[in-house]
């Protein structure tokens, strides 16, 4: 099945991690060369990669640092892994870095008894990513595609790391023509720059809309279902996603439109109230490409994410099939 | 604040803490409305149009103001996004006030940055792929950016459009 480059936006070659710089798309397809965890965290803080790209970046950075630490003793290698985990955990608040790093440290503890500790751990991580995670994401996209009927118009928000075009591919395979509406997703325009571009490049019927046109479309029955991704989930089914998702979920409920979310379940947090929402720099709203858009003196408020209650979700489509 | 009020609105508006929705694609909220408030000494806080429900959910919004250029059979014709503001406000039990606007098109013209919200005939529509001269995304992507939508007066506090 054809994959968008955004489906797997990072990879390792030699001793370098290559991260797709999503801020340059669609004007350029550029990969950042990352050599250690500090550079990886800088890429995350600058939103060069996001969502699933952050997950891949964490996993691959552990591999990178293990490769760099190969001459060291096992305790020293474990110490390196601990420091890398700690640094990622402090990077951004909403994405569950601690869950990802804890999982990797769990793999490390299991592999610790092996005389080939580093090699075995690297092998386990590659296997986890390339087989387990890739397979699960395909399965999730296929399940989502089965909820869509021929002729449906799907509204999506922000960008689901290449999975929306995969849903389209499954629909295409099943002979179902579907249409997409992509919100532009201010202030970073992930919908305009990534989703709409990706769907257009992959040959799908896609229309870009401003974030404020969602109710208009829904009220005129132009949307048959909503599919969004999620950055973090809670035990009760609440989830956090890019700012604007909550608004769309409320509207979908009001207009009786199915609202589906692609999730990765977690039991770490009880409810969405426990998910911290990152507040980002106001300049990211007030300026574009280094140029100020707002009059001098105006302020801005930029919550990066919002939390959607489970009661607004028609169906969670989970990566573990839960 | 969602929409572009008439010039007299700013002087009569009593609140000092104001969120102003930016109003894509033309960004008139960020530019025109913010400037209007700054002139009367109110420092506006700009939010993106997709942040309204978040601010309401967090208890940061006490009332919502939208603006209508005409009223017809129980509905106001308002800037697109006003329906989101009104519906989300209703869900969060926040009062909505709809104000009439004279010469509503004037404020949509001469926007120097952001996409032009053109009212010329036939309407070419705003170009969402650019901010000023900077490309946001590639050309050739189909766009749908309706400038106006209907908002039922029943969603407003008084059930009517009033100043």
All domains in chain B, ordered by first residue: 7-155 (3.40.50.10470)
A 208-247 near B (Cβ less than 8 A)? 208-217, 219, 243-244, 246-247
Taking the C-alpha atoms of residue A37 and residue A94, their distance in angstroms, rounded to an integer, is: 19
For residue B89, CA distances in Å to A215, A232, A247, B94 come to 13, 26, 11, 5
pLDDT at B125: 62
Phi then psi for residue B104, to 5 deg, are -65, -25
CB hemisphere CA count around A287 (13 angstroms): 10
ipTM of the complex: 0.91
Q: With contact defined as beta carbons under 8 Å apart, do A26 and B138 qualify?
A: yes
Which residue among B34, B35, B137 places its CB closest to the CB of A26? B137
Contact B81 A215 (CB under 8 A): yes
Helix (H) or strand (E) holding A53: helix A52-68
Average pLDDT over residues A62-87: 96
CB pairs under 8 A between A and B: 174
The CATH T-level fold of domain A138-318 is Rossmann fold (3.40.50)
Q: Kindly report, residue by residue over A190-219, the tens digit of the pLDDT.
A: 999 999 999 999 999 999 999 999 999 999
Instruction: Give bridge partners of residue A240 from the DSSP assignment.
Output: A232, A307
Which tokens go with B147?
Answer: 């400038």
For the domain made up of A10-136, the CATH class stated in words is mainly alpha
Which tokens go with B158?
Answer: 């008084």
Any chain B CB within 8 A of the CB of A280? no
Taking the C-alpha atoms of residue B141 and residue B135, their distance in angstroms, rounded to an integer, is: 12
Question: Alpha-carbon dihedral of residues A127, A129, A132, A133, nearest 10 degrees?
Answer: 180
Per-residue pLDDT of chain B (163 residues; tens, 9 = 90+): 999 999 999 999 888 899 999 999 999 999 999 999 999 999 999 999 999 999 999 999 999 999 999 888 899 999 999 999 999 999 999 999 999 997 554 444 333 334 444 343 444 567 899 998 889 999 899 999 999 999 999 999 887 887 6
Q: Which of A163, A153, A119, A207 is nearest to A8 (CA)?
A: A163
pTM of the predicted structure, to 2 decimals:
0.92
Q: Give span(s): CATH 1.20.120.420, chain A.
A: 10-136
Which among B19, B31, B46, B145 is the top mutation candidate for probing chain A, defined by the most A β-carbons within 10 Å of its own β-carbon?
Answer: B46
Strand blocks (E) in chain B: 18-21, 44-47, 64-72, 75-79, 96-100, 130-131, 134-135, 142-143, 148-152
Contact B91 A254 (CB under 8 A): yes
Q: Give span(s): CATH 3.40.50.10470, chain A.
A: 138-318
Taking the C-alpha atoms of residue B117 and residue B107, their distance in angstroms, rounded to an integer, is: 10
Taking the C-alpha atoms of residue B64 and residue A165, their distance in angstroms, rounded to an integer, is: 37
pLDDT at B132: 84
Q: What share of chain A is helix, strand, coil (3-state, %, to 5)?
A: 45, 20, 40
């Amino acid at each position: 099945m054809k994959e968008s480059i955004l489906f797997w936006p990072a990879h390792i070659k030699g001793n370098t991690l290559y991260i797709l710089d999503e801020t340059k798309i669609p004007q350029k397809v550029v990969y950042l060369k990352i050599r250690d965890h500090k550079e990886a965290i800088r890429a995350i803080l600058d939103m060069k990669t996001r969502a699933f790209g952050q997950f891949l970046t964490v996993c691959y950075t552990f591999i990178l640092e293990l490769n760099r630490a190969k001459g060291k003793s096992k305790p020293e290698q474990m110490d390196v892994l601990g420091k890398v985990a700690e640094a990622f955990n402090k990077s951004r608040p909403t994405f569950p870095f601690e869950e990802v790093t804890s999982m990797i440290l769990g793999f490390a503890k299991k592999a610790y008894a092996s005389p080939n500790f580093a090699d075995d751990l690297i092998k386990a991580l590659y296997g986890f990513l390339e087989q387990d995670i890739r397979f699960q994401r395909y399965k999730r996209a296929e399940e989502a595609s089965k909820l869509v009927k021929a002729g449906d118009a799907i509204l999506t928000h922000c960008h689901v790391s290449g999975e929306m075009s995969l849903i389209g591919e499954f629909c295409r395979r099943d002979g179902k023509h579907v249409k997409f509406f992509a919100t532009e997703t201010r202030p970073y325009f992930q919908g305009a720059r990534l989703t709409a571009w990706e769907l257009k490049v992959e040959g799908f019927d896609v229309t870009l809309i401003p974030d404020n046109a969602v109710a208009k479309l829904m009220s005129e029955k132009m949307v048959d279902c909503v599919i969004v991704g999620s950055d973090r989930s809670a035990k009760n089914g609440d989830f956090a996603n890019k700012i604007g998702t909550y608004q769309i979920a409320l509207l979908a409920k009001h207009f009786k439109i199915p609202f589906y979310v692609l999730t990765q379940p977690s039991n770490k947090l009880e409810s969405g109230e426990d998910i911290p929402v990152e507040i980002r720099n106001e300049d990211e709203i007030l300026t574009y490409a280094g140029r100020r858009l707002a009059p001098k003196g105006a302020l801005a408020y930029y919550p990066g994410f919002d939390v959607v209650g489970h009661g607004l979700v028609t169906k969670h489509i989970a990566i573990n099939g839960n | 604040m969602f929409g572009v009020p008439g010039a007299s609105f700013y002087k009569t508006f009593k609140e000092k803490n104001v969120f102003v929705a930016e109003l894509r694609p033309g960004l008139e909220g960020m530019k025109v409305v913010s400037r209007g408030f700054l002139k009367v000494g109110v420092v506006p806080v700009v939010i993106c149009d997709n942040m309204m429900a978040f601010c309401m959910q967090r208890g940061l919004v006490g009332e919502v103001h939208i603006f209508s250029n005409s009223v017809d059979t129980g509905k106001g014709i308002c800037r697109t996004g006003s329906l989101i503001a009104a519906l989300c406000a209703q869900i969060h039990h926040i009062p909505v006030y709809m104000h009439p606007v004279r010469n509503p098109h004037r404020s949509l013209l001469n926007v120097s940055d952001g996409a032009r919200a053109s009212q010329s005939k036939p309407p070419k529509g705003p170009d969402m792929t650019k901010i000023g001269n900077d490309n946001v995304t590639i050309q050739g992507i189909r766009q749908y950016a309706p400038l106006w939508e209907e908002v039922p007066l029943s969603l407003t506090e008084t059930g009517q459009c009033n100043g």
